[in-house]
């Protein structure tokens, strides 16, 4: 298990110092809405939003240590007091550390597609894991997704289209604010295709993907 670290301003904390699930308002008081980025990389989009977001709060998760430290140091240097950074595995943190239904937006840009079948279970977007990601959103909140990996993008589209708790829209044009990561900017400049999706959590909609629910029921029955 990768040790979890949490950076809040000049402080760096471990999970043993905190009550779970995290009470974000205690860590960064006075925020009017939260946005989450899963896999912040070098932090270009997260820090850009944090610089111009007023009273909003931003939480970024990154598993790669050098990127976590890089974004942490940049946030401190720029005085972004509305940013929380977490180092760790995203699905673990969503399932055990973060509160449910707190985010007005979740951003996932160019995640590792884990193309080998034996690694599919590590994907953020599959029927067994999609409810964790969608569950971060408040009703009416939006999930933003982009990938340059066509096969994985179509799989994500399929999973989200079949989820009764979300309304999916496939974008036929670039983001209105331009590329959201350095990685995306390179692909745009090279003329490579990028699949972009927006998925809104339905107010009062079901919380579970039917296929994922069947997996949970099957696993529970097997243990019994």
Any catalytic annotation for residue 112? yes
Rounded CA separation 3/19 (Å): 16
Crossing angle of helices 65-77 and 44-51, in 10° steps, is 20
Signed CA dihedral, 36, 39, 45, 50: sign only: positive
Active-site residue (options: 55, 73, 112, 126): 112
DSSP label at residue 193: -
**CB 13: neighbour CB atoms within 10 A?**
15
Tell me, rounded to whole angstroms, the distance of Cα 148 from its chain centroid.
Answer: 17
Q: How far is CA 65 from CA 15, 70, 82, 100, 114, in A?
A: 17, 9, 21, 26, 20
For residue 197, with 0-12 CB atoms within 10 Å meaning exposed, 13-18 middle and 19 or more buried, which class applies?
buried
The residues assigned a catalytic role are: 112
């Amino acid at each position: 298990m990768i040790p979890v670290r949490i950076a809040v301003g000049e402080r760096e904390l471990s999970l043993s110092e905190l009550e779970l699930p995290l009470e974000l308002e205690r860590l960064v008081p006075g925020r009017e809405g939260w946005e989450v980025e899963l896999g912040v990389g070098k932090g270009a989009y997260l820090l850009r939003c944090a610089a111009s977001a007023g009273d909003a709060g931003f939480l970024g998760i990154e598993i790669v240590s050098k990127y976590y430290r890089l974004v942490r140091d940049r946030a401190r240097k720029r005085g972004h007091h509305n940013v929380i950074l977490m180092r760790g595995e995203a699905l673990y943190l969503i399932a055990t550390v973060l509160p449910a239904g707190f985010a007005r937006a979740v951003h996932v840009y160019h995640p590792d597609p884990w193309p080998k079948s034996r690694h599919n279970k590590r994907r953020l977007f599959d029927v067994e894991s999609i409810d964790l990601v969608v569950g971060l959103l408040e009703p009416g909140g939006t999930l933003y997704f982009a990938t340059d990996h066509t096969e994985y993008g179509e799989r994500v589209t399929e999973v989200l289209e079949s989820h009764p708790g979300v309304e999916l829209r496939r974008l036929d044009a670039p983001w209105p604010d331009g590329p959201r990561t350095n990685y995306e900017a390179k692909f745009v400049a090279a003329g490579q295709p990028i699949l972009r999706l927006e998925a809104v959590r339905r107010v009062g909609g079901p919380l579970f993907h039917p296929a994922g629910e069947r997996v949970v029921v099957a696993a529970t029955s097997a243990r019994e």
